[in-house]
Amino acid sequence: MDITLPLLILVIPLFMFLLLGLCGMKMSHRLAGTLGTLGMGTVLVLSYITALTYFYSGAPEFITQAGERLQYTVFNVTWLQFTDSLVIRLGFLLDPISAMMLIVIPTISFMVHLYSLGYMRDHHGVYEHGFQRFYAFLSLFSFSMLGLVVATNIFQMYIFWELVGASSYLLIGFYYKKPSAVSASKKAFIVTRFADLGFLIGILILSFYTGTFNFADLTSAPVDGIANVSQVSLTTAEGIKAMFTNSPAPMFMGASVMTWALVLIFMGGMGKSAMMPLHIWLPDAMEGPTPVSALIHAATMVVAGVYLVARLFPLYLMETAALDIIVVVGALTAFYAAMVACTQIDIKRVLAFSTISQIAFMMVSLGVARPEFHHGLGYMAGMFHLFTHAMFKALLFLCAGALIHAIGSNDYTAMHGLRKYMPITHITFLIGCLAIAGIIPFAGFFSKDEILTACFGHSIVWYIWMSLVAGLTAFYMFRLYYLIFWWKEHKVHDPHHAPHDQPWTMTLPLVILAAISCVAGFVPFGFLVTWNGKPMFEGHASFFTNLEHLDWSVAGISLAVAIIAILIATAMYKKENPLPEKMRNALPRLWDWCYHRFYWDELYQFITHKIIFGCICKPIAWFDRHIIDGAMDGLAYVTNKASVAIKGFQSGKIQMYVWFYLAGALLLGAITVICLI
Amino acid sequence: MDITVIYYLVPSLIMFCCGVYGFVTRKNMIAMLISLELMLNSVDINFVVFNRYLFPGQLEGMFFTLFAIAIAAAETALAIAIIINIFRASKNIDVTDVTKMKF
Amino acid sequence: MESVGSIIMYVIIALSIIVFSVLTVTTRKILRSATYLLFTLFATAALYFKLDYEFLGAVQIAVYAGGIVVLFVFSILLTSHPGHSSEKLVSRKRVLGLSLAVATLVIAGYALISRCSVMFASLPAMDNPDMKTIGETLMGTGHGQYLLPFEAISVLLLACIIGGVVVARKR
C-alpha cells in the first residue's frame, strides 16, 4: 500500500492545527471555519479510501486466502533511539480495529466541524470569541486521535494518548472566562493524568519484561513472505507470558506481574474511558462546547480505553484475572451511570452518564470475550458497539446542542414540548433514542444484542445485570426524550421568537448521523472486525448477515426489556402528571443518592481536601515553610547582616585600599621570608 | 671594593618605599601617579640589575624593562586622561573627593 | 675590583636616586615633585648606562624623561596652579604611609640581606649588546625573541591612544 495516503491522514490535521493556531487570528472567522472543515473533509475522504481499501481490496497484505484479516504496518520510522533495544518508533498500523476507527473518527469529526460552523455563532450570526482557536483545537484533537488509533507501538499510543488528553483539556476549558469550565478542564486533566500514571507504569513493566513496545511483537506473529505484515497470534502472547513467568520475580503481592502490568494499563483506559472510580471528570467535561462533547466526550476520545484493551486483547486473554477485573469495573460502572442518568436535570449530564454507561458496556463486552465462545464474540460486539455508539451518541449530543442553542439553557425544565417547533431535531433525537434503547432495526439493537449474547455465554449473572442496565438505558433516554419534547405544552406569545430548527450546517449533520444510526446495525462486523482477523461466520457477508445470525432468544428478551422500559417512561413522562413526583417520594433516599451521583464528587472532595491536603500536605507545607525555607531565610539573613557589617570597608578611598593591599602583601612576604630562611 | 648586586638593590628598594609612602599619603592624583612611576622605575632597575649580574649575555631582563617602560607610558597617558576628565567634572583632583564609585 | 672612577660614579648615582626619590614624595609643590621625578629618572638612566645597557638608558631618557614627565607637567599645569602648595599632611596619614614604607623597607631589606650568595656577586664581564642583536631579538620569532610581545604592546599602545582621546575629549 502506498505510504502517501496514510501519511496525509495524519499530516493534514496537524497542518491545519498549525495553520489555524498560528495564523487563525489573522483570518476571518468564516475562512478559518471553512478551512478547518475542508481539511477535515479531505481527511474524511482519504481515510475512507484507506479503510475501504483495507477491508475490501483483498490485497495479500490485508487478507489471506482463507479470509483472515492481517495487520499491515504501512510505515514505522525510528523516532528516538535510546539504546539498541530501547527504540521508540512512530508508524501507521492498519488492522481491523484501526481501519474501523479510521471510519469513525473522521466521520464524527467532520460532522462536528460542519456543525460548529452553525453552533459557534449566536442567533444574530455573530461568531463566538476564539472561533479560530476552536477549530485549531479540533484539528489538533483529530490529529492526536488518529495518531492514537494507528499507533504501531504502545509508546506511540501513549504519546498520542497524552495529546488527546491535552486537546480535551484545551477544549473543555474553551470558555476560559467561566470558572466552572476552568475547574472542569483542570479536573479532567488531573484525573486522566493520574490514571495515565498507572498506564505509564504498566507500559514500563510490560516493556521491561518483554523488551519491546511493538504491538507486532506483543500480540502477533510475522507472516512469511510479505514484508511488514503480521497476524494476531496467541502463540506470541503465550511467549510473552512465558517471559513473565520465567523472569526472576514473576509474582508481586499475590498476583502475577503480568496481571499487574495489564491492570495498570487498564487503569489508563479507566481514566480516559471514565470507568468508576475515575469517572468523575466526564460529567463536568460537559462544560465545554457541545460539539466538543459530541466529538471527544462521547464518540472518540472516551473510547480510547476500550480501544487500548482491544489492542492488547491477546495479552489480556493470557491473564483472565485482568479480564475479570474489567468485567466487574465495567458492570458496576454501567449500572451506576444508568441509575444516575435517571435523575439528572441537565440534558448534557444525562447524555454524559449515558456515555459512561455505554462505554462500560463495551468494557464488559471485551471482558467477557473468550475465543472459545463464538470465536470471541464479545470482542466483536464491543467494537461493534463502539462503532454504533459513536454514531448515535454523537447524534444525540448534536441534537442536545441544537436544543441548547435554540433555548439557551441546559435544563429540560426550560424545554418541554418542543416537538412542534423543532421537527428535524425531534425526529433525529427520537432516532438516536431508539438506537441507544436497542429497538430493531436501529444500530444499537444489533450491537447491544451481541454484547448481551456474549455476556450470556460468559455468565448468566452478568447477562441479567447487563440486561437490567439496558432496560434502564431505554428508560432514562425516553424520560429525557419526553421531558424535552412532550410533557407540557409551550405557550408561545410571539411566533417570531419561538424556538425553531437551526441552520442547515447544524441540521445536516443531524440528518446524516440519524441515517447512519438507522443502517449502521447492518454492517457485517462479524466479517470485518474480529479479535484474530478470522471471520466469525461461514459464507459471504451481506446486508442481512447480522439479522440472520441473530440469537432470537437473547434478542427477543432484550427487545422486550427495552420496550417495557420505554412504555414505563411513556406512562410517566409523556404528559404532565404527578407520577414521577410520587415515585420520587416513595424512594427519597435512593433518588437523593442518584441525584447527587452517589456522592462520588463529595467523596473525592473529602479524600483530597480533608485527608490528603489536611493530613499529608499541611505538615509537609509547614515543614517546607518553616524548616527548609527557614534555613534558606537564615542563610540570607546572615549574609545580609554580614554584608551590611563589612560594607564600610568598601569606602571608595583608594589609598586605604592600597594600604590594606600592601599590608597584606607585606604580611605574606614576611611569612615567606621567615619560613624560607 | 666591589660593587655587588646589593649596592644597586638598596637604592632601588628605597625608591620603591618612597613610592609607597607617596602613594599612600599624597592627595593629589597626579602626585600619586608620580609615586607610582617611582615604584615602577625601581622594579625596572631590579630587572636590569639581575639580568646584568646573574645572566650576562642574555637580554630577558632588559627587554622586560623595555616593555615595562612602554606599558608605563600607556598607563600614564590613560590615567592622565581620566584625571583630566575628573577635573572637568569636579574642578578638583583630590583623590579623597572621588569616592562615588563605592558599593 | 672596580676602578675608583666607577665607584665615584656609582656613589653619585645612588645618592641622587635616594635623595631625589625622597624629595619627589616629600615636597609639597606638585611641579617640583615632577621635576624631582625627572632627576630620579635621569639617575636611573645613568645607572643603565653604567651597567652597559646603553640602548635601555636611551629609551629611559627618551620615553620616561622626555615623554612621561612632559605629560605630567602638562597635566599639572592644566589642573592646578603651579605655585600652589598642598596643605600639610595630617599626622595620621603620615603615620600610616610611613609605617607601610618602613615595613616594606625592613622586610624587603631583610630578605635582600639574607640572600647572601647572590647578593654579593661581583660584576661579570659582558659585551655591550649591539643594536643588531637588540633589533633581531625584538623582531625575531625564535627562542628568547620577542615579536609577539612587541606586537601586543603596539596594539596596547594603539588602544591606549584611542582610549586617552575618548576619555579626555570634550563632550
Q: Within an 8 Å CB–CB cutoff, is residue C160 touching chain B?
A: yes
- Please say whether the beta carbons of A209 and A257 come within 8 A: yes
Q: For residues A529 and A523, what is the distance between their CA atoms, to the nearest angstrom? A: 11
Instruction: Tell me the average confidence (pLDDT) per consecutive run of 10 residues in chain A, 677 residues long.
Output: 85 92 86 90 93 86 84 87 83 90 92 89 81 90 92 91 92 89 91 91 89 85 82 85 81 82 90 88 88 87 91 88 90 91 87 91 89 82 91 91 83 77 88 88 87 87 90 90 80 64 83 89 84 80 77 85 89 81 81 80 85 87 91 94 85 84 91 81
Q: According to the model, what pLDDT value does residue A80 have?
A: 84
Question: Diameter of chain C by CA atoms?
Answer: 62
Is residue C64 within 8 angstroms of chain B, CB to CB? yes
Among all residues of chain C, which has the CA nearest to that of A660? Answer: C100
B95: which strand partners? none
List residues bridging with A71 in a β-sheet. A230
CA dihedral A79, A83, A85, A88 (to 10 degrees): -20
Residue C1 pLDDT class (50, 70, 90 cuts): low
Predicted pLDDT of residue A103: 92
Q: Does C16 touch chain B (CB under 8 A)?
A: no
Closest-CA distance of chain A to residue C107, Å? 6
Q: Does A586 touch chain C (CB under 8 A)?
A: no
SS3 A462: helix
Contact between residue C38 and residue C69 where contact means Cβ atoms under 8 Å apart: yes
Task: Output the pTM of the full model.
Answer: 0.70
pLDDT of residue A414: 75
What is the ipTM score, two decimals? 0.91
| pLDDT (0 to 100) of residue A494 | 61
Is residue C25 over pLDDT 60? yes
- For A206, B71, B94, C43, C49, the CA distances from C61, given in Å and listed in that order, are 88, 15, 30, 10, 11
Of B98, B100, B102, the CB nearest to A650: B102
How many residues does this entry show for chain A? 677
**C-alpha to C-alpha distance for A614 and A635, rounded to whole angstroms:** 30
A306 vs B102, residue with greater confidence:
A306
Cβ(C30)–Cβ(C73) below 8 Å: no
Give partners of C (≥3 CB pairs < 8 A): A, B
Mean pLDDT of B86-99: 80
Q: What is the CA radius of gyration of chain A?
A: 30
Q: Is C99's Cβ below 8 Å from some Cβ in B?
A: no
Cβ–Cβ of B95/A654 closer than 8 Å? yes
The domains of chain B are located at: 6-90
Q: What pLDDT is recorded for position A492?
A: 60
Distance CA A309, CA A323 (A): 9
H-only helix segments in A24-130:
29-56, 96-119
Q: Are A655 and B100 inside 8 Å of each other by CB? A: no
The answer to whether B29 and B63 have CB atoms below 8 angstroms apart is: no
Which of A649, A650, A654 should be substituted to probe chain B, the one whose Cβ sees the most B Cβ atoms within 10 Å? A654
Nearest by CB to residue B99, choosing from A651, A659, A662, is A651
| pLDDT tens profile C12-21 | 999 999 999 9
The alpha-carbon gap from B1 to the nearest alpha carbon of chain C, in Å, equals: 6
How far out from the chain centre does Cα A529 lie?
Answer: 20
Checking DSSP bridges between strand A255-256 and strand A229-232, what pairing results, if any? unpaired
Name the minimum distance, in Å, from the CA of B41 to any CA of chain A. 18
Whether A652 sits inside 8 A of B100 (CB atoms) is yes
Q: C87 CA to chain A: closest CA distance, Å? A: 17
Q: A453 with A553: CB under 8 angstroms?
A: no
Judge: A653–B99 Cβ closer than 8 Å, yes or no: yes
Transcribe A476-543 into DSSP letters.
Answer: HHHHHHHHHHSBS----S-GGGS--PPPHHHHHHHHHHHHHHHHGGGS-HHHH--TTS--SSSS---T
Cα of A647 to nearest chain C Cα, Å: 22
In terms of C-beta distances under 8 Å and separation of at least 24 residues, what long-range contacts does C92-97 make, across chains too? C93/B24, C93/B25, C94/B25, C96/A659, C96/B24, C96/B25, C97/B20, C97/B21, C97/B22, C97/B24, C97/B25
- Taking the C-alpha atoms of residue A379 and residue A454, their distance in angstroms, rounded to an integer, is 9
Q: What is the pLDDT of residues C39-55, one digit of tens each?
A: 999 999 999 999 888 89
**How far does C70 lie from chain B, in Å, by closest CA?**
11
Cell of A432: 438516536
CATH fold for domain B6-90: Helix Hairpins (1.10.287)
Chain A residue numbers touching C107 (CB-CB < 8 A)? 666, 669-670, 673
**Residue C103 in contact with partner chain A when CB distance is under 8 A:** yes
